[in-house]
Structure formats: structure tokens, C-alpha cells
Amino acid sequence: MTPISQYGEFKLIEHITKAFPLFNPNTLKTIGDDAAVVKSEKDKVNVFSTDLLMEGVHFDLGYVPLKHLGYKAVTVNLSDIFAMNAVPYGITVGLAFSNRFPVEAIEELYEGVRAACSRYGVELLGGDTSSSRQGLVLAVTAYGSAPEEEIAYRNGAKANDLVCVTGDLGGAYAGFLVLEREKKTFLANPDLQPDLTFYDYVVGRQLKPESQPNILSKLREKGVKPTSMIDISDGLASELHHICGQSKCGVTIYADKLPIDYQTVSVAEEFNISPVTFALNGGEDYELLFTVDIGDFQKIKDIENVTIIGHITPDAGVLDIVLSPTQITPIEAQGFRHF
């Protein structure tokens, strides 16, 4: 293993970023100066978002591969850009680590960053590195742009709008529970090797989440602009509260409409937890929650990976989920709490 001290800060930065290609013709300068330079486009606005991932809070290196962590760090930030109905063009990465990490570990982390950049066609524009006494810290900022009239905010939902989600929900939380269980089993008896054969999908949802920009492209093709939108990072219930709070409205969703993968249902049964609870409060799915005008129903009803789960009501602050024809209950936000 190569000690970081053999490289030093600037040689390390050059070493781990030299293989990143350029995708955006408006990118004039990335690594190697005091700031990145991206040419602005006429009639477009730029959007920016930052997320921080802390070892021991957001990830556990006991079961999270560094390559997957690098990939996930990029994805969770780009998800915020997509949630504005914008297109990302670049990221910056801030990284702090202790001397327990050799050069090869940082290379592996950046392999994941590069894979995500290639997957979504964004540039690594720059960043910073530092030593850390508190474990590994990743701070990624994502940059995107869109025509101003295309930006979707959280405060645009209105009564009778349809409530939609992309993909499926609860899988990342299911994967987290499985990984935590297997870790405890291994620590209790290191001779027992984890068997994740039957949990590949949910473990993948936790370790290597994907955003869905193709859904936004399909909406544009059909002439549909979301009236409000947010990414599902802290759980569907929490995000519904954000949209309803900022839009001053209420919502009714239906449990039998929630898209939940069969493997997520299976894990929920193993842990004796309702799959609906996974979908509402699991978090880290990084799917998109958005609302559209009811007049766009015919345009969106057949879009693959989009599910209509309910509708917006005029009753500000009243958020309900219909569990059965005779059971309606308030939606409480019980997802991840940062503090």
C-alpha cells in the first residue's frame, strides 16, 4: 500500500483526477486553477446543491465498499439537481481522511466518483482535500442548469394535482436493515460469512442508488412540467410534508398504489414491519416525488417507472394515507433525522 505522504496533496489530486473526461462543451476549465469556469447559456439559470456524507453517520465502512461510496456520493447530489427539473453538468468533491487510508483506498473511492460522472455525463470540476481525525468525510456539490421557466420548486402544488413517484420505494431501507443484521452476525461470529444472495436488489438500492433523469426527459417529450418536485432522500412521508408545507396544501395517497419491490416486501416480512412503513419512512431511495396538473393524466399514465399514488387537496396541513376503504390515517414524517 502506498502512503498518502508519498504523494502530497497536489500530486494526489492530479493522480486521482487525471482520468476524468469532459462531457459539457461549455466547460472551459476544471481542475488546476483556483476555480472551475463554465460558460453560462443564454436564458438559462444555474442550480447548485451540496450534500455531506460522514463516516459513522451516513455510512459504515464495515460493509460499504469505497467505490460504491464514491458513486453514491455523486448520485445523492445529482438527485437534488434532477429534483429541480434541471440538468447537471458538474460536481466538486471535498474529501477529508485520516492516515489509515492509503493512496489505493482513495483511488478506489474516486473510481466510484468517476463511474458516476460517466453514468450521468457530468464533469469533476474541482474540490479540496484535508486530513481528518473524525473518520472519512465526503462533501459533494453538484451544479446544473435549466431554462428558468422549466425549474420545478417545492411550492407549486395545487388542489387536484396528481401525486407521482418514480421507481419503487423502501428498498434502500430494506438493504440497510439486511446489512446491519449481517454485520452484527459477523461480529458475533467471524466464521459466519454474510450471505446476501437473496438480497441483491435491496442491498444495491442502499449501496449504489441511481437517479432517474430519463423520467424528466420523458416528461419533457410529452410536454409535461411538474407543478412541484422533490427527491426522496429522507422518506416519502417527510418529502410530502415538505411539498405540502411549502405549497400550503394537503394530500391523500393510497397504500395500495405505493410501488414496492417484491424483495422489499420480503425483507419487511422478515423484520415484521409493514412494507408501507418502509415506503413511507425508509429514505435514501433518491427517487423523485412530483405533482402534475390533473389535465396531464393521459400524458403520464403510461410512462414507465412513474406511479400515480394520490392527489393534492386544498386542506392545508392535512396529509392522509388510505390504508383500506375503511381506514384512513395521518401521514407522519418519521424518516431520517439529521440532529
pLDDT at residue 337 tops 70: no
The band of 336, judged by pLDDT with boundaries at 50, 70 and 90, is low
| pLDDT for the residue numbered 109 | 98
pLDDT at residue 44 tops 90: no
* Residue of 157, 194, 155, 154 whose CA lies nearest to 178: 194
Q: What does the radius of gyration of the chain's CA atoms come to, in whole angstroms? A: 21
pLDDT at residue 26 tops 70: yes
* Residue of 172, 174, 200 whose CA lies nearest to 79: 172
CATH 3.30.1330.10 fits 4-150, yes or no: yes
Given CA atoms 265, 268, 274, 277 in this order, what sign does their dihedral have?
A: negative
pLDDT at residue 307 tops 50: yes
| pLDDT for the residue numbered 101 | 93
User: Looking at 37-41, 57-61, 213-217, 231-235, which range is the least confident one?
Assistant: 37-41
Residues 136-170 as b/e (b if ≥16 CB within 10 A, e otherwise) read bbbbbbbbbbbeeebbbbbebbeeebbbbbbbbbb
Express each pLDDT in 135-181 by its tens digit. Answer: 899 999 999 999 999 999 999 999 999 999 999 999 999 999 999 99
| pLDDT for the residue numbered 339 | 39
| pLDDT for the residue numbered 34 | 66
User: Looking at 47-51, 203-207, 247-251, 290-294, which range is the least confident one?
Assistant: 47-51
Express each pLDDT in 9-19 by its tens digit. Answer: 778 888 888 88
pLDDT at residue 194 tops 50: yes
Express each pLDDT in 285-295 by its tens digit. Answer: 999 999 999 99
Express each pLDDT in 253-301 by its tens digit. Answer: 999 999 999 999 999 999 999 999 999 999 999 999 999 999 999 999 9
pLDDT at residue 230 tops 90: yes
Superfamily of domain 162-330: PurM-like C-terminal domain (3.90.650.10)
The band of 8, judged by pLDDT with boundaries at 50, 70 and 90, is confident
pTM of structure: 0.91
pLDDT at residue 118 tops 80: yes
Domain residue ranges of the chain, discontinuous segments joined by +:
4-150, 162-330
DSSP character at residue 258: S
